[in-house]
Amino acid sequence: MSELIIWTYDWVPEGPRGFVRDLRLRWACEEADLAYEIRMVPFDGRQTNHLERQPFGQVPFLNDGELEIFESGAGLLHLARKSDRLMPPDPVGEAETLQWTIAALNSIEMVTVPWWFLKISGDTDNGLTGWLGQRLDHLERVLSEREWLAADRFTIADLLMADVLRVPEVRAFGARPASEAYVARMTDRPAFKKAQGDQIDFFEAADLKRPG
């Protein structure tokens, strides 16, 4: 029996399928050949029904034996210590992976997600647009000079950054060929395709069980 358990919702609407963040942990496990199970908390009532395990009512969270870890970024950093395929074990490689993982969460996603949120709320040309452009331009410069963010090889930093950048509205925001090629390369990886396909299948199967 697997010790790794990835928790997600028992159902989500069609829109977010393929983008729910359990995909980040599935993808990491697929890259590293780590066995895992998927378990569910109810989507209905998610604001309050699992706060003792995820204090913001979100998914995913991860079990690893006695450990329980919420926040997809924390789950990735935890999984990365279990397999060299996700992060090199030497101090320099580890530091590079760590800094680019945090950059994805706190320098890029801190702008992309609120910008996206305002945009889909109808505020297309919102006050975060200029800031988003600056951050993506900085990243474009980096990605035009290298294949991987950290340590000259695939790491969880690439997994996370690609997952942040592949959101369709972000991907369509201005022409940034190096970033686009990077997203295409990362999402062409078999482990990504397996994780995404499995997530979509999982939520499609859940349609059949859902009342109404």
Residues numbered 148 to 207 that lie near a second copy (CB under 8 A) are none
Q: Which of 1, 13, 15, 121 binds a second copy (CB under 8 A)?
A: 121
Q: Is the peptide bond before 89 cis (omega within 30 degrees of 0)?
A: no
Query: Per CB under 8 A, which region of 28-36, 117-125, 182-190, 192-200 contacts a second copy?
Result: 117-125
* Token representation of residue 80: 């990365």
Query: Per CB under 8 A, which region of 22-30, 113-121, 170-178, 188-196 contacts a second copy?
Result: 113-121
Q: Where are the alpha helices (DSSP H) in the chain?
A: 22-32, 72-80, 91-103, 109-120, 129-143, 156-165, 168-171, 177-187, 190-209
* Token representation of residue 125: 């040309």
* Token representation of residue 143: 């990605």
Query: What backbone torsions phi and psi does residue 39 show, to the nearest 5 degrees?
Result: -130, 170
Q: Which of 13, 15, 91, 211 binds a second copy (CB under 8 A)?
A: 91
In single-letter form, the type of residue at position 59 comes to V
Q: Which is nearer to a second copy, 151 or 202 (CB)?
A: 151
In single-letter form, the type of residue at position 76 comes to L
Residues numbered 52 to 71 that lie near a second copy (CB under 8 A) are 55-58, 66-71
Q: What is the 3-state secondary structure (H, E, C) of 191-210?
A: HHHHHHHHHHHHHHHHHHHC
* Count of residues that bind a second copy according to CB under 8 A: 45
Q: Which is nearer to a second copy, 101 or 202 (CB)?
A: 101
Q: Which of 80, 103, 161, 186 binds a second copy (CB under 8 A)?
A: 103
* By CB under 8 A, residue 139 contacts a second copy: yes
Contact 21, 60 (CB under 8 A): yes
In single-letter form, the type of residue at position 205 comes to A
* By CB under 8 A, residue 129 contacts a second copy: no
Q: Which is nearer to a second copy, 137 or 201 (CB)?
A: 137
Residues that bind a second copy (CB under 8 A): 51, 55-58, 66-71, 73-74, 77-78, 91-92, 95, 98-99, 101-103, 105-107, 109-111, 113-115, 117-118, 121, 123, 126-128, 131, 135, 138-139, 141-142
